[in-house]
Amino acid sequence: MKLGILGGGLAGLSLGYFLNQKGYDFTILEKNPETSGLLKSIQIEGFTFDVGGSHIIFSKDKEILNFMVSLLGDNVIRNRRNTKILYKGHYVKYPFENGLADLPKQDNFECLYYFIQNLIAKEKGLLKSPKNMKEWFYYTFGKGIAEKYLIPYNEKIWKFPLEKMSTVWVERIPQPPVEDVIKSSLGIPTEGYTHQLYFYYPKYGGIQALAKAFEEPIKDKIVTNFEVKRIRKEDEKWIVSNEKEEFEFDKIISTIPLPELIKALEDVPREVIEAVENLKFNSLITVGIGVEKAKLNDFSWLYIPDREVLTHRVSFPSNYSPYVAPKGKSSVLAEITYREGDEISKMSDEEIIERTVEDLDRLGIINKNEVILTILYRFKYAYVIYDLNYRDNLKIIYNYLDTVGIDSIGRFGEWEYLNMDAVVKTVKEYVKEKF
């Protein structure tokens, strides 16, 4: 049986890796000159930037974590997370509810007060179950934490009304233990999200080194510069075309974004096309900045809820590995979400770079006079948005794909906000179940 894998991002590469272990015959078709998808890293003048966004290797699933780390061999470093939220000029420990003592006193009091008021109201059955993301933030954390950080930050990153977003994604966020929030307010150290307290990162090559490790044993089964434009079925065979050449497969498994897959198929019912058109997502711009300074800070990454600042998250890759920046220099990666048609999407690369450097200089994160290099990348598909009709639209699309016999997996194949470990885990389980 000849298998066709559409897309050479993490899902496509890990699928190929696991199928190869079982001896299956397959070909991966990737539209770009190289594989890796959002795990793309660029090396320029001694700097390495993860231009698909800052990625780290962590997981609650020890088996998956050990597997990903083992793929890197000796090319790996273990780090302890030191992440902050920049709030009114204060560096607040992440997650926010574990850093309340870092806030101005009045803000600290309001966060604790409303958190406890909320708990009492819940105990008395006075709070209705949340029906959307905005209500969930109030319900789970209380007015203080919700309004000071969670709502402004999430409005900034999602670029979508929180009252129109489903609770599907946020329900994965761990509920903060009461004692931790009280300790945090009093300044007694506590840790949240302990599964990512320690994380791994490649010494050399940026996060793409992980993609390359998956790719290594299956290099000869990958075709690059092949954009899937037409998919049709003839005599029980799938024909996949880029309108210049064709491949024939017995079965195809897609990891490309659902809108791109449906667009390539013939005779798709109108209901399915409408469901795909109703899927929501954010695009991503990353700005890589090289700085003429040995050490900017000791942060892993920094969240910025301030709406006046273009970027929502800034990471410091040279703190992940000293080998991703030249000696005596530091690197910064700023992430900016946008949606096609909004103000950010209309800004030129030069405007975005200039604004980002100015913002970070004004905040004291970098000195713009020490900037020696900047690069900018855009990715159309970056974040899945869980709007209120998300599940209904997906059901229509998946019922159709089941009918025609195409499996679709991965972050944009499943249309799920999956971290790297979740992608690898779901792909591994898929192969185990279906093959």
Q: What percent of the chain has pLDDT over 70?
A: 100
Q: How far apart are CA 168 and CA 220, in angstroms?
A: 39
Mean pLDDT on 227-231 = 98
Q: What is the pLDDT of residue 287?
A: 98
Q: What is the pLDDT of residue 205?
A: 98
Q: What percent of the chain has pLDDT over 90?
A: 96
Q: Which two tokens stand for residue 88?
A: 């009114």
The answer on pLDDT for 170 being more than 90 is no
Judged by average pLDDT, the poorest of 193-202, 329-338, 358-367 is 193-202
Q: What is the pLDDT of residue 70?
A: 98
The answer on pLDDT for 174 being more than 80 is no
What torsion do the CA atoms of 90, 91, 95, 100 make, to the nearest 10 degrees?
-40
pLDDT in tens, 255-313: 999 999 999 999 999 999 999 999 999 999 999 999 999 999 999 999 999 999 999 99
Report the relative pairing of strands 198-201 and 222-223 from DSSP bridges.
unpaired
**212 with 206: CB under 8 angstroms?**
no
Q: Per-residue confidence at 76, pLDDT binned at 50, 70, 90?
A: very high
Would you say how long the chain is, in residues? 435
Q: What is the pLDDT of residue 196?
A: 83
Alpha helices (runs of H) in 164-220, residue ranges in sequence order: 178-186, 208-215
Q: Per-residue confidence at 228, pLDDT binned at 50, 70, 90?
A: very high
Q: Per-residue confidence at 121, pLDDT binned at 50, 70, 90?
A: very high
Q: How far apart are CA 238 and CA 155, in angstroms?
A: 42
Q: What share of the chain is helix, strand, coil (3-state, %, to 5)?
A: 40, 25, 35
Query: What domains can you pick out in the chain, each with its CATH number?
Result: 2-36+207-279+388-434 (3.50.50.60), 97-192 (no CATH)
Q: Which two tokens stand for residue 342?
A: 């909004």
The answer on pLDDT for 195 being more than 90 is no
DSSP symbol at 31: S
The answer on pLDDT for 200 being more than 80 is yes
Q: What is the pLDDT of residue 173?
A: 78
Alpha helices (runs of H) in 4-100, residue ranges in sequence order: 10-21, 62-71
Q: What is the pLDDT of residue 190?
A: 87
Q: What is the pLDDT of residue 235?
A: 93
- Rounded to the nearest integer, the mean pLDDT of the chain is 96
Axis-axis angle for helices 62-71, 208-215 (nearest 10): 80
Q: How far apart are CA 224 and CA 9, in angstroms?
A: 12
Q: What is the pLDDT of residue 175?
A: 80
Q: Per-residue confidence at 131, pLDDT binned at 50, 70, 90?
A: very high
